[in-house]
Structure 1
Amino acid sequence: MTNQHQALPFPRDFLWGGATSNVQAEGGIDEGGKGINVYDSLVVTPEPGVEPIYSDTAVASDHYHRYAEDIALMAQMGLKAHRFSIVWSRIFPNGDEAEPNEAGLAYYESMVDELHGHGIEPVASLLHFDMPDHLRVAYNGFASREVVDLHTRYVEAVLTRLAGKVRYWITANEINTAPLFPRLVAGSEQPDGDDPIAYQALVRHNILLAQARAALAIRDLAPDAKIGCMIYYGPSYPASSKPQDVTAARWVNDLLFHLPLDVIVRGEYPAWYPLYLKRRGVALPAQPGDVETLAAGAAVNDYIAFSYYQTGMITGPDGWGAPAAEDALVQNYFFGGEKNPHLDRTAWGWQIDPEGIRTAAASLYARYGKPVFIVENGMGVDEEPSEASGIVEDDYRIAFHTGHVEALRQAIHIDGVPVIGYLVWAPFDILSSHKEMRKRYGFIHINRTHDDLRDLARTPKKSFHWYRRVIASDGVDLGAE
């Protein structure tokens, strides 16, 4: 890694910041006209014999009531940008109303104004685990074309209100995970008896169509905006130099990551995808006009946004090329995966690989020629303040982010990648995607447990002060003290 005393600074306009999902942070579950969404209704069932340690979303981190306090703390940390999500069920509580909820629009306008008041660039996500639950129950989410239409109407309502106040827009969060985690990401569940590959192809196509229509709506209503769509990106390494392993890793990366980006950025499915479906007896579920819409949406794309947490490792199976063997590789990646012997892991089993963020940024830029924006990166830890100091002494988090910042410096200054910014997940503690309050990512501690709200006091962790020095020095000062 680069010696910090010789470190080249990051660009002066680099967007150092933080990122949250508002459904995981807000609470205020039934306030301001909000409807229940797919994250609110998600029931996390632990394995038999495991104590349930999950939370509901009634209060979460109480960001709904305390966003001004939280934004003021972000400003103290020196954040230049903050990514948040506009909760669909606050704008259309059921999703199919004729008119948007004014209280919801006013709430996010107030939040954006608060960010601007502290000199923080708003980065707004339009789909982040927040589909109105009514659309899941009544329409089966993005398995329905009607929901694509309803999503477009939601986007237009938000843009009509906020077009002049938000420059960076993200059309969807981790869109590539929709086929594998459809209930949370796409508000949909596979009907009994449906072919799983056909169902995944339908959900994948409709959510990609929805993001393309969202991009076109943003360009129409906010011509000067910067538009990107976000994927979860954790590229796989081959387990060895064995050609079979190399091919398997390439195939997994293509299906999980490059397939959606080919549509989002290039406007068309890659040549291998119709063959992949055909070998499984499935047809591409496109309707007249879809090809043109996907191409038009790609034409207005400005950047690639991605979350980065870890890398994977793949061993090629026997009988390579058989659909069952290919499908097993994907399931293995997302539901456990192989342990890389060269990497440490978090308590949740996520492989810690700072070098991988450089690989991710460089490979995406080389493939697509678009600036990249890291809009999530972080480390979840079960932690509490030290009795001696009264704060969370999270040197492990500092070490985690130090490694990733150094790798990004190399991506910029050695690989020549135009990186827009680095948004840490998360500026303050929020619920995890599976409603775990104990899985803390924040740089600010929230005083609550999974079932005891305590006083919800905000206290900066040791990493808060570290990140402030990093930002103030344009990434040169990475010292822990």
Structure 2
Amino acid sequence: MKKDFLWGAALSNVQAEGGYLEDGKGLNVYDTLVVTPEKGIVPMFCDTKVATDHYHHYKEDIDLMAEMGFKAYRFSVVWSRIHPQGDDEVPNQKGLDYYEDMVDYLLEKGIEPVVSLVHFDMPDHLLRKYNGFLNKQVIDFYAKHVEAVVSRLQGKVKYWLTYNEINLAPYQSDLVAGAYRPDDMSLAELFAHLSVNTAIAHARAVEVIKRIDAKAWIGGMIGHAPFYPLTCRSEDIIAADFKNKMHNYLPFDIMTSGQLPEYFINFVEKRNIDILFNEDEKQVVKDASEKLDYLAFSYYRSGVQSSFDDIEDLIELEDAILFDQRGLKNPHYTANEWGWQIDAEGLRYSLIDLYDRYHKPLFIVENGIGIDEKLVDGKVYDDERISYYQKHITSLKRAVEHDGVDLLGYLAWSPIDFLSSHKEIRKRYGFVYINRDFDDLLDLKRYPKKSFYWYQKVIKSDGEDLENNIDY
């Protein structure tokens, strides 16, 4: 690995902070999210009032990251902590102070901050009053938010991410895009409108960041899950190709080319969807494509896709593929308790595929496994997590060292335990166990897991020593 490779980890502040309405913070879409349980073991949902109290423990948590040897740490600036309502005339200074203090402390510890600008944290007011990114006025509010954050942190933050997992906006619209689908709007229409509007939002953010700090490095980000054909049948191969274009490639195709790809235009025209994309917006998107520095993605699992033999109409068939809820499984892979299949070499495939398609530096900004864990005598023996990371880091090294992929860094998910995107405390991701239960906050004490010391060794050896031989 190259000497400046960014080893580290990442989290979503809205899922970790707590500090519910403290210091001027407003409600956001994660605070008010009505959770649909994942399939798998019985969930343990929490509210967001405390989460894992990162708001009051961030220096202690960063100290633990420094002890692990992090080169970089990705976190998110909670939108509703800076603009509590979203349409506020002026930003909340206490919110800006908090994140500047965090960045200063990271730099003091020698850790490169990587900052996400929207990550499940749109102010709830923008959802209730404007219907989020379905309303282009919210794009203006977002650009104003970005300007406030970047103006405060310019020169201190090099790496910016405009929008966390932007491709998931049409699928989890309330959480990712702060929008509810109107009763008279089809799923395909929602997909089309949010794909265009979030692309404009990304482009506006690029413009703002580069205008304020020309030296900043800006990346777009998707939640990447490659879809393999379930069988070698041509119908399944076509289905998987369509799913990958619409689910994985579309945002990056727009970000890098500066225009809507022909397959998306065809999708819209075949359904008689009237998308609103004026000449000024087209120019903003085009200009942003020439300023994009890298592409980032999360990777947890791959998927499989098949066609629907009982659907003859091609429009109906494509829509069924795009919004497939069958939960198809790859027979070659095992899964965690929540049914997320583990496909480590799929990370190598993703890196090769994305680098060959876009020829831009890539950045893995999330990768990890959720596990149901218990603290016993102050320790957590998470060998399952170590095994997961061993395989995925081996995979990315092959992509870099053998396949020639230009990779900026690897950020594991996550440094500490926090609530999952489903407000789930039973599903733990961290290298550090935080002592709280579903209905009892306990003492919120931090306990390094076995993986903490293993990842410390991995970073120190620059990814060469992956052996699970920690004396814990």
Judge same fold: TM > 0.5, yes or no.
yes
Please give the per-residue CA displacement for 1:336-357, whole angstroms capped at 9, x wherever unaligned. Answer: 5211011111110011000000
Residue 263 of structure 2 corresponds to which residue in structure 1? 272
Shift of 1:290: 1.4
Q: Tell me the SS of whatever aligns to 1:89.
A: helix
What does residue range 24-423 of structure 1 map to in structure 2 within 5 Å? 24-46=15-37, 53-318=44-309, 319=311, 322-332=314-324, 335=325, 337-387=327-377, 390-423=378-411
Q: 1:40 to 1:336 in 2, by over 3 A?
A: farther
Distance 2:399 2:38 in 1: 41
RMSD of the alignment, in Å?
1.5
Shift of 1:82: 0.3
Distance 2:226 2:87 in 1: 38
Q: Select between 451-460 and 191-200 the one with higher mean Cα deviation.
A: 191-200
Residue 455 of structure 1 corresponds to which residue in structure 2? 443
Q: Tell me the SS of whatever aligns to 1:351.
A: coil
Question: Does the 8 Å CA contact 2:435/2:444 hold for their aligned counterparts?
Answer: yes
Question: Does the 8 Å CA contact 1:320/1:326 hold for their aligned counterparts?
Answer: no
Shift of 1:46: 4.7
Q: 1:118 to 1:320 in 2, by over 3 A?
A: farther
Q: Tell me the SS of whatever aligns to 1:96.
A: coil
Q: Tell me the SS of whatever aligns to 2:279.
A: coil
Residue 465 of structure 2 corresponds to which residue in structure 1? 477
Task: Name the amino acid aligned to 1:466.
Answer: W
Q: 1:305 to 1:51 in 2, by over 3 A?
A: closer
Question: Does the 8 Å CA contact 1:379/1:400 hold for their aligned counterparts?
Answer: yes
Question: Does the 8 Å CA contact 1:274/1:284 hold for their aligned counterparts?
Answer: no
Shift of 1:284: 2.8
5+ residue gaps, structure 1, are 1-9
Task: Name the amino acid aligned to 1:164.
Answer: G
Question: Does the 8 Å CA contact 2:188/2:319 hold for their aligned counterparts?
Answer: no
Shift of 1:47: 9.1
Shift of 1:63: 0.4
Pair 1:12-2:18 in alignment: no
Q: 1:45 to 1:274 in 2, by over 3 A?
A: closer
Shift of 1:463: 0.3
Pair 1:444-2:432 in alignment: yes
Distance 1:41 1:63 in 2: 19
Q: 1:321 to 1:260 in 2, by over 3 A?
A: farther
Shift of 1:28: 0.2
Shift of 1:45: 5.0
Please give the per-residue CA displacement for 1:165-216, whole angstroms capped at 9, x wherever unaligned. Answer: 1000000000000011110000000112223322321122111101101011
Distance 1:363 1:47 in 2: 29
Q: Select between 350-359 and 315-324 the one with higher mean Cα deviation.
A: 315-324
Distance 1:272 1:342 in 2: 31
Residue 3 of structure 1 corresponds to which residue in structure 2? none
Distance 1:176 1:425 in 2: 19
Please give the per-residue CA displacement for 1:258-297, whole angstroms capped at 9, x wherever unaligned. Answer: 1111111111111111111111121232123111111111
Q: 1:131 to 1:41 in 2, by over 3 A?
A: same
Task: Name the amino acid aligned to 1:211.
Answer: H
Please give the per-residue CA displacement for 1:282-313, whole angstroms capped at 9, x wherever unaligned. Answer: 12321231111111111110111000000001
Task: Name the amino acid aligned to 2:85.
Answer: N
Question: Does the 8 Å CA contact 2:43/2:426 hold for their aligned counterparts?
Answer: no
Task: Name the amino acid aligned to 1:192.
Answer: D
Query: Once the two structures are aligned, what percentage of the paired residues are identical?
Result: 50
Distance 2:115 2:349 in 1: 26
Question: Does the 8 Å CA contact 2:36/2:422 hold for their aligned counterparts?
Answer: no
Shift of 1:241: 1.9
Pair 1:429-2:417 in alignment: yes
Q: Tell me the SS of whatever aligns to 1:345.
A: coil
Please give the per-residue CA displacement for 1:404-434, whole angstroms capped at 9, x wherever unaligned. Answer: 0000010001110011011000000010001
Distance 2:323 2:185 in 1: 18
5+ residue gaps, structure 2, are none
Question: Does the 8 Å CA contact 2:379/2:449 hold for their aligned counterparts?
Answer: yes
Q: Select between 75-84 and 275-284 the one with higher mean Cα deviation.
A: 275-284
Please give the per-residue CA displacement for 1:102-155, whole angstroms capped at 9, x wherever unaligned. Answer: 000000000000101110000000010000000100100001111000000000
Residue 467 of structure 1 corresponds to which residue in structure 2? 455
Distance 1:68 1:188 in 2: 34
